[in-house]
Chains A and B, each alone.
Chain A
Amino acid sequence: MNDDAPVRVRSLVKRFGRFTALDGLDLEVAAGQVHGFLGPNGAGKSTTIRVLLGLYRPDGGTVRVLGRDPAHEASAINREISYVPGDVALWPNLTGGQALDTLAGLRGRRDRAREEELVERFELDPTKKVRTYSKGNRQKVALVAALAAPTRLLVLDEPTSGLDPLMERVFTEEIARASAQGRTVLLSSHILAEVQHLCSAVTIIKQGRVVEHGDLETLRRLARTQIEIRADDQTLNRAAAELEDRGIPADRADDQLSVQVESALVPRAMEVVAACRVTDVRCGPASLEDLFLRHYEDAR
């Protein structure tokens, strides 16, 4: 294992009563990496993150964050970490600005200019009461505080779930900027496309265990393109047969045909589509759910 890695988790076990949330989980995030932490709902992503922050006590395994044990030195570690929770809770009576002041005051360090820049970029109105904020706006407060804080490690737990597409783009740019400055990012998500877009490495977990981990190449290998076509019965039958001939299995529903192919096979599949003169074609990245359906149904 790499001793310099900001996050090193080995055989982590966490139980809640009889329920085992994490069952021998391994996770390593190298310095400067933007690391995707993927898994379906309830896979144990937030539990892992809470162990990293020292909020939960592990029942087994070793955990090192920035070279220290969060079970004993959470306070010192967390000063170096920026965390954005999945469901941001803030003091309802304060304004967004006062919440930022509070978070900076608690941390004891602050980059005021950077914070103001981020408030502008995320189009946050800091004079409004937290109580009146939507989920997305509460998330923006947490994101501004996290990105502006002078820290080495960013831990983000599904940070874009409340953001609109425009703000998601700002988020993407800011993560790229943080990475360029040498900061390490652990990004938990259940959206494969987001991770593919941002991350250079990935760990995929299910039911508290790692089912896949690797670098950009792994991500690329995992990535699939979903192609859906609609046409009359005869055309669909013909397309299905030709796809089969080229080694691409197709799913046939009533009036549509769908296939999932790795990127290298996309041109071959599109040839068939073009040859059959299909006009109603949809093409896009396959979701994490599809990936799990395809790959990891029997991971346990």
Chain B
Amino acid sequence: MSTTVNPTPTVHDAAPRRPVTRPGRTGPLRGLGPSVRLLLRRLRVQVLAWTLPLWLLVAATPPAYEDVYPSLQERELLVQSMRDTAGTRLLYGVLPLPGRIGQLVQWETGTYLLICAALMAILLTCRSMRADEDDGLVEVQRGSGVGHLVPFIAPVLVVWGAVALFAGGAGLVLTVLTGSVTELTVPGAWALAGAIAVTGWAFAALAALACQLCRQTGPARGLALAALGCSFALRVLADESETGRLRWFTPLAWRDLVRPYSDDRVWPLAVCAGACVLLTVVAARLFARREYLGGYLPDRSSSRRRWRLSGYPDLQARLALRAMAAWSVTVAAASALFGAMASSITELFAPDSATSSYVEKMASGSPVEQFMELLTIMTVLLVAVAGAQRVNALAADERAGLVEFEASVGGSRARMFVAQAGVAVVESVVLLALSGAVLAAMTGTQFTDDHAVGRAFVFTVSQLPGVLATIGIALALVGLAPRLSALVWAVVGWSVFAQFFGGLVELPDWAQDLSVLGHHLDVVGDPDWGPLAVQATIGIAGALIGLLAYRRRDLAR
């Protein structure tokens, strides 16, 4: 070839841009690669927000166990009583013998990891599978020539990948810890990682199924979360049954089939993974037969009767009614389950025993006090989540353009803000009263010594200032920066960590007290109003800051 000179070499010599998908390729999975990449890009921050704090938790607990109980002998009493304690059996399941550190980790921390993997899988699946369809994003995707199964397969792959990342990271952290904590084993680490992975995959599959059955994101998410609740209850039943065969039917008990750090069984993992794939295939078939925006369950989202509305608070109350009913059922069911476990308190927590010293890491006082404190933190956590979610609905409505329209017909910003805050507070008060009443009533049928009934009620309802603080912080965020409204979940997450693990990892007292949960009054002795006053102040200050900021800023869309 002769050496001709190209006048504009930089432009013309550049290779032609490669098309994103190969032309001519068709089929139900066309465009899967770009769709998966797009989803990864959209969900990466959320996935890291779930996984990073939990990996830190995994890294922190084994050394803490070793610090507090260096040898098996020192642990013997603790392990025995943990196995017999109704409250801990209820929350975490049965602690395997002899109670090596790995067994303790997979039992307590492992339970949190399983539940968080399940929650992450459910929320991410419903977001990327059903909410995208509701928002019209799937339509855009399909309209650009993407294969018909891609809107189903891409979310499944991404969520399964996120769960695998989460589980793999936990396994890696525990593998690294085998170097410093001698009781930990490498097969145990990966058996636990495997159990977390199959549990997460199972709930991703169940959520995918719920997304096909229901006609909208909200009900689909509700159904999947209800499945999580039933799975928890079924795990408790399976633990109490003789054979344990029930464990196969609840993903939250699959860990106890794998038995990490005890037997490290691989074959249950294979069976469970197979079950997850099977569930996903069923969901995929339902998806393929379903109409766009359709569902298999009848639509009962609201009545078609016309309304006579008396103003903005009335509207918010009507819109909140359904969610509030769902929360009431959840909170009442959890309180009833916990109350039913109160019967065995007397046999436990003998004073000065290893048990009480262990439980004192999380709670203090008499057995009844300890039991009630542990369980009310769980029930009040549900109420705090409901309250924060109600406030964050204001930010979501703003993003959707509803606030703009509501303001344009004369709704004042202050009134809208105060109404939403009011609905959140009323909802929380009702839920706390309901939870306290159910817990007290159920406890009363089992056990009445040491003010058990009164404590069940008072411990619950006197955590109202903590719930108000949560609502106040959420209100401040919505007022100041609605994009950061999700930060309130960090506050709730920290509070759970500080209450359940703060003692174990030996956080300083002030850091353990830095919590919206767990501060309450007692029915005997001098009431300690201090923490409650601080929480109430935070709640009121947050609401005021939020209100001032909300009145001044642009209402964005």
Chain A residues in the interface with B (C-beta under 8 A): 50, 53-57, 74-76, 78-79, 81, 83, 85, 87-95, 97-98, 101-108, 127, 129, 131, 142, 145, 149
Contacts and interface: CB of A to CB of B under 8 A. Distances in A.
Given A56-B555, A85-B401, A104 B407 contact: no
A191 B410 CA distance: 29
The 8 closest A-B pairs by CB, nearest first: A105-B309, A89-B401, A75-B412, A79-B410, A83-B408, A101-B307, A78-B410, A55-B555
B404 A102 contact: no
Nearest to B408: A83
B402 A97 contact: no
Interface in B303-317: 304, 306-312, 314-315
A75 to B, nearest CB: 3
Contacts of B401: 85, 87-89
B1 interface: no
- Among B134, B299, B408, the one with the most A-chain Cβ atoms within 10 Å of its Cβ is B408
Given A54-B407, A104-B309, 4 more contacts: A50-B404, A55-B554, A98-B302, A101-B309
B522 interface: no
Given A55-B555, A56-B554, A108-B410, A98 B307 contact: yes
Contacts of A85: 401, 404-405, 408
Contacts of B319: 91, 93
- Among A54, A75, A87, A103, the one with the most B-chain Cβ atoms within 10 Å of its Cβ is A75
Interface of B: 134, 216, 299, 301-302, 304, 306-312, 314-315, 319, 400-402, 404-413, 415, 552-555
A11 B138 CA distance: 43
Contacts of B307: 98, 101-102, 105
B410 A75 contact: yes
Contacts of A56: 554-555
Contacts of B304: 95, 97-98, 127
A89 B216 contact: no
B410 A106 contact: yes
Contacts of A91: 319, 402
Contacts of B553: 57
Given A55-B555, A91-B319, A105 B407 contact: no
15 contacts: A53-B404, A76-B410, A78-B408, A83-B408, A85-B404, A89-B402, A90-B405, A92-B216, A93-B319, A94-B302, A98-B304, A103-B409, A105-B311, A106-B409, A108-B311
A53 B555 CA distance: 11
B408 A131 contact: no
B410 A107 contact: yes
Given A79-B409, A101-B306, A131-B216, A89 B404 contact: yes
- Among B311, B400, B409, the one with the most A-chain Cβ atoms within 10 Å of its Cβ is B409
A131 B215 CA distance: 11
B308 A101 contact: yes
Given A87-B401, A89-B400, A105-B315, A53 B309 contact: no
Contacts of B555: 50, 55-56
B407 A55 contact: yes
A159 to B, nearest CB: 13
A56 B400 CA distance: 16
Nearest to A51: B554
A97 B306 contact: yes
A49 B553 CA distance: 16
B520 to A, nearest CB: 37
Nearest to B215: A131
Contacts of B411: 75, 78, 106
B109 to A, nearest CB: 40
A107 B409 contact: yes
Contacts of B315: 102, 105-106
Nearest to B218: A93
B554 A57 contact: yes
A76 B414 CA distance: 13
A225 to B, nearest CB: 37
A53 B407 contact: yes
Contacts of A101: 306-309
A75 B310 CA distance: 16
A243 B405 CA distance: 52
B309 A74 contact: no
Nearest to B314: A105
Contact of A57 (B400, B405, B552): B552
Contacts of B407: 53-55, 74-75, 78
Nearest to A103: B409
A60 to B, nearest CB: 15
A76 to B, nearest CB: 7
- Among B216, B410, B552, the one with the most A-chain Cβ atoms within 10 Å of its Cβ is B410
B554 A98 contact: no
- Among B216, B302, B552, the one with the most A-chain Cβ atoms within 10 Å of its Cβ is B302
- Among B134, B304, B312, the one with the most A-chain Cβ atoms within 10 Å of its Cβ is B304
Contacts of A92: 134, 216
B309 A102 contact: yes
Given A53-B407, A75-B411, A106 B309 contact: yes
B458 to A, nearest CB: 38
A21 B299 CA distance: 43
A57 B555 CA distance: 9
A78 B409 contact: yes
Contacts of A75: 407, 410-413, 415
Contacts of A145: 409
Contact of B413 (A74, A104, A149): A74
A104 B306 CA distance: 12
A13 to B, nearest CB: 14
B254 to A, nearest CB: 36
A232 to B, nearest CB: 39
A238 B260 CA distance: 92
Contacts of A142: 405
Contacts of A98: 302, 304, 306-307
B130 to A, nearest CB: 13
A292 B406 CA distance: 35
B314 A53 contact: no
B312 A106 contact: yes
A76 B216 CA distance: 36
Contacts of B554: 50, 55-57
A93 B306 CA distance: 13
Nearest to A46: B557
